[in-house]
Chains A and B, each alone.
Chain A
């Protein structure tokens, strides 16, 4: 339990990152934005969530490693905006396929839950 929470960052005042969604968010970000370094990905996710998610930026690094192990993203070293060496991540073809599959399943889940919740009991 402890390690799960730690991985995805919990803050009592903001909504937590739902379990398993960080990988999806990272993949989607990389699909939309092209090659990005870790900081860029974290910034983009925060911007898109408009402050509604409490993301410990550090948690994306284990997620990035996990995605890379699965072959869904690749990385190369390059120079960042402030001229430091940084690793740039890119989505692979397998990653795009995975993203498409997860988007579909996510939409179906949201639809199902939405129907369930809107039902008059």
Chain B
């Protein structure tokens, strides 16, 4: 108990330098009194004051030695040594700032790069969705002979009703640009996800406010009113977290929706980096015709939750059997090619990390990046070790002096080690600062073609452990190796007979290091050159048009394209021509164009066509109907040929 007590006292002293200064002053006073009493005794015995003081000093012994011993009792001697070594190291650094700064910077860049890459890897691969028991979640993916296949809504609903191995099944459809008009008249595009009524309960997400979408919101496809839920980040951003948002109306597509709740703050979505602003019920916003058709409704993803004790394989077998059994019950539209149900199987992928296309898409690139970062770390470590060794060779004299003064090998190794450790610590700290900037930059490269992804890069325990491990390896390479090498070399310098054999050994180490360093540096240069080119290419994705200063004005009304009568068509054409002319006359408008779909409408028009009258292939193309100015207004480049000319307008509008 008394040993523990002493330990606690020492620890406390460690963190209270002020208190220890006070105690030191007390000691000085105590010693002063002691010496005065001793001197007084000698003076009484007849010595002169000077002689008495000398005698007192002699009896007392060395004051400095006593103080050092006293300090050691109050603290941890090895710690005090380390502190002294660190201060010595800083002195050396000040004496050779260029070499030290180079070392710190190269380590910093290498550590920063590696940490930044790992932060992204961590965000993408190791962070499960913030939902209840994420390991029970599975992604349901039908395959036809290993090719990915769709899961049509009718099949989804039957699987959901009949599955024995799942506690729940949920479907989601992400809509990157959903046109939303708020009840205060403001409007714009929001990121939305249409979700089945089971979605939030299958995932186990709680609301931050109000309630989330559930089965009663997702009943009837014909409903013209619906419930909507706000994403937490959007709620904070757009409504400043105002609870009064409940009950507000938003018009999404053709449905009038009422805000009923806000999702939990930590919940993004079923996909890392994707945070929908608006959650809407799937059925009311999809429509019965699409829902009933085999090829009508596609889902971004279908997520299930396994019953406890059921394995993924068992569940997949059951779902495949169900799919094959019910396949013929599902009507397919107008003579589409039938599918042989025997070739369809259902694959279940682990869903703890969400519907993560990102992993498949960016896993390899990140792997390469991680490899490069590791290589860079090794190069930097060898480089810095090399510099340390070179610096050390230049310091033989100092080391010799210290050894002559009685410093043992262990003490010298400790000193050089602490010097290296100071460099490594500074390097790692610099690296962390670099990673804090670089991590988000790398994460911003990770995005999907049709979906905005904003991967959040956050520090985690795993990252901390990795940085710790990197630091440990660096300390071994950068601090321990050169220290050991130098002291071994130095030990032999003290005994000249052996110096001829051992000094070349250090030279050999140095040469090897240089060769390794040059080789790796060359590799790295080539690889990083390629990498930078790739990253640069990625960051400059050409959308095919110039989005700045383009405004979209959308018209409500009948959204069906083909149903108009002859009269109706003529009326529409007149309206559009009139509108076009009037918009053109608005001051500040440079040019206008009409388009049936507009930009980011989220819907497609398909048209069958033949190359000539003999063409028997079934061809169809995605189309949009536009006025000739369309390409100019959007700044679309035409790679070959020309766009429409004005005299083609009549033909164009006549066909409406």
Bound complex: CA A57 to CA B36 (Å): 13
Interface status of A115 (Cβ within 8 A of chain B): no
Partner of B73, one of A42, A65, A72: A65
Contact A62 B2 (CB under 8 A): no
Interface status of A44 (Cβ within 8 A of chain B): no
Bound complex: CA A108 to CA B202 (Å): 76
0/1 interface trace, chain B 1-32, chain A, CB 8 Å (1 if under): 01101100110000000000000001101111
Interface status of A119 (Cβ within 8 A of chain B): no
Partner of B33, one of A65, A71, A85, A94: A85
Q: Kindly provide the distance from the CB of A19 to the nearest chain B CB, expressed in whole angstroms.
A: 13
Residues of A71-98 at the interface with B, using a CB-CB cut-off of 8 Å, are: 71-72, 80-82, 84-87, 94, 98
0/1 interface trace, chain A 106-117, chain B, CB 8 Å (1 if under): 000000000000
Whether A70 contacts B69 in the complex (CB less than 8 A), given A57-B38, A80-B33, A85-B29, comes out as: no
Bound complex: CA A81 to CA B5 (Å): 33
Bound complex: CA A37 to CA B26 (Å): 13
CB contacts (< 8 Å) of B5 on chain A: these are 69-71
CB contacts (< 8 Å) of B3 on chain A: these are 70
Interface status of B624 (Cβ within 8 A of chain A): no
Bound complex: CA A9 to CA B60 (Å): 10
Contact A57 B34 (CB under 8 A): yes
Q: Kindly provide the distance from the CB of B204 to the nearest chain A CB, expressed in whole angstroms.
A: 55
Q: Kindly provide the distance from the CB of B109 to the nearest chain A CB, expressed in whole angstroms.
A: 43
Contact B69 A56 (CB under 8 A): no
Bound complex: CA A9 to CA B74 (Å): 20
Bound complex: CA A66 to CA B26 (Å): 16
Interface status of B182 (Cβ within 8 A of chain A): no
Contact B74 A65 (CB under 8 A): yes
Residues of B139-162 at the interface with A, using a CB-CB cut-off of 8 Å, are: none
Contact A84 B33 (CB under 8 A): yes
Which of the listed residues A42, A62, A98 has the most CB atoms from chain B within 10 Å of its own CB?
A62
Q: Kindly provide the distance from the CB of B128 to the nearest chain A CB, expressed in whole angstroms.
A: 49
Which of the listed residues A6, A65, A71, A84 has the most CB atoms from chain B within 10 Å of its own CB?
A65
Contact B2 A72 (CB under 8 A): yes
Contact B34 A62 (CB under 8 A): no
Bound complex: CA A81 to CA B40 (Å): 11
Partner of B37, one of A62, A82, A94: A82
Contact B72 A69 (CB under 8 A): no
Contact A86 B2 (CB under 8 A): no
Interface status of B589 (Cβ within 8 A of chain A): no
Whether A87 contacts B26 in the complex (CB less than 8 A), given A57-B60, A65-B70, comes out as: yes
CB contacts (< 8 Å) of B62 on chain A: these are 6, 56, 58
CB contacts (< 8 Å) of B68 on chain A: these are 3, 6
Partner of A3, one of B36, B38, B40, B72: B72
CB contacts (< 8 Å) of B587 on chain A: these are none
Bound complex: CA A66 to CA B637 (Å): 86
Q: Kindly provide the distance from the CB of B24 to the nearest chain A CB, expressed in whole angstroms.
A: 11
Bound complex: CA A70 to CA B3 (Å): 6
Partner of B9, one of A6, A38, A69: A69
Contact A61 B36 (CB under 8 A): no
Interface SS of A by simple majority: helix
Interface size class for chain B?
20 to 34
Bound complex: CA A100 to CA B580 (Å): 108
Bound complex: CA A87 to CA B27 (Å): 9
Interface SS of B by simple majority: helix
0/1 interface trace, chain B 57-75, chain A, CB 8 Å (1 if under): 0011111011011101110
Interface status of A59 (Cβ within 8 A of chain B): yes
CB contacts (< 8 Å) of A66 on chain B: these are 6, 73
CB contacts (< 8 Å) of B72 on chain A: these are 3, 62
Contact A82 B66 (CB under 8 A): no
CB contacts (< 8 Å) of B59 on chain A: these are 56-57
Bound complex: CA A3 to CA B70 (Å): 11
Contact B69 A6 (CB under 8 A): yes
CB contacts (< 8 Å) of B34 on chain A: these are 37-39, 42, 57, 86
Whether A62 contacts B66 in the complex (CB less than 8 A), given A57-B59, A94-B2, comes out as: yes
Contact B36 A69 (CB under 8 A): no
Interface status of A28 (Cβ within 8 A of chain B): no
CB contacts (< 8 Å) of A80 on chain B: these are 33, 37
Whether A70 contacts B6 in the complex (CB less than 8 A), given A7-B69, A62-B69, comes out as: yes
Q: Kindly provide the distance from the CB of A22 to the nearest chain B CB, expressed in whole angstroms.
A: 11
CB contacts (< 8 Å) of A65 on chain B: these are 70, 73-74
Bound complex: CA A86 to CA B5 (Å): 25
Which of the listed residues B27, B65, B72, B406 has the most CB atoms from chain A within 10 Å of its own CB?
B65
Residues of A13-40 at the interface with B, using a CB-CB cut-off of 8 Å, are: 37-39
Bound complex: CA A93 to CA B94 (Å): 53
Bound complex: CA A22 to CA B3 (Å): 18
Contact A59 B26 (CB under 8 A): no
Q: Kindly provide the distance from the CB of B23 to the nearest chain A CB, expressed in whole angstroms.
A: 9
Contact A86 B30 (CB under 8 A): yes
Bound complex: CA A7 to CA B34 (Å): 18
Q: Kindly provide the distance from the CB of B621 to the nearest chain A CB, expressed in whole angstroms.
A: 88
Contact A61 B2 (CB under 8 A): no
Bound complex: CA A58 to CA B406 (Å): 24
Contact A39 B37 (CB under 8 A): yes
Nearest A residue (CB) for B77: A3
Bound complex: CA A84 to CA B33 (Å): 6
Contact A9 B61 (CB under 8 A): yes
CB contacts (< 8 Å) of A37 on chain B: these are 30, 33-34
Which are the 10 A-B pairs with shortest beta-carbon distances?
A56-B61, A58-B66, A70-B2, A69-B6, A62-B69, A58-B61, A84-B33, A39-B34, A62-B70, A39-B37
A selection of 25 A-B contacts at a CB cut-off of 8 Å is: A2-B406, A6-B65, A6-B69, A9-B61, A39-B34, A39-B38, A56-B60, A56-B62, A56-B66, A57-B38, A57-B60, A58-B65, A59-B61, A59-B66, A61-B66, A65-B70, A65-B73, A66-B73, A69-B6, A69-B9, A69-B73, A70-B5, A71-B2, A85-B33, A86-B34
Q: A39-B37, A69-B10, A71-B2 are in contact. List 6 more A-B contacts (CB 8 A).
A: A6-B62, A37-B30, A56-B59, A56-B61, A70-B6, A72-B2
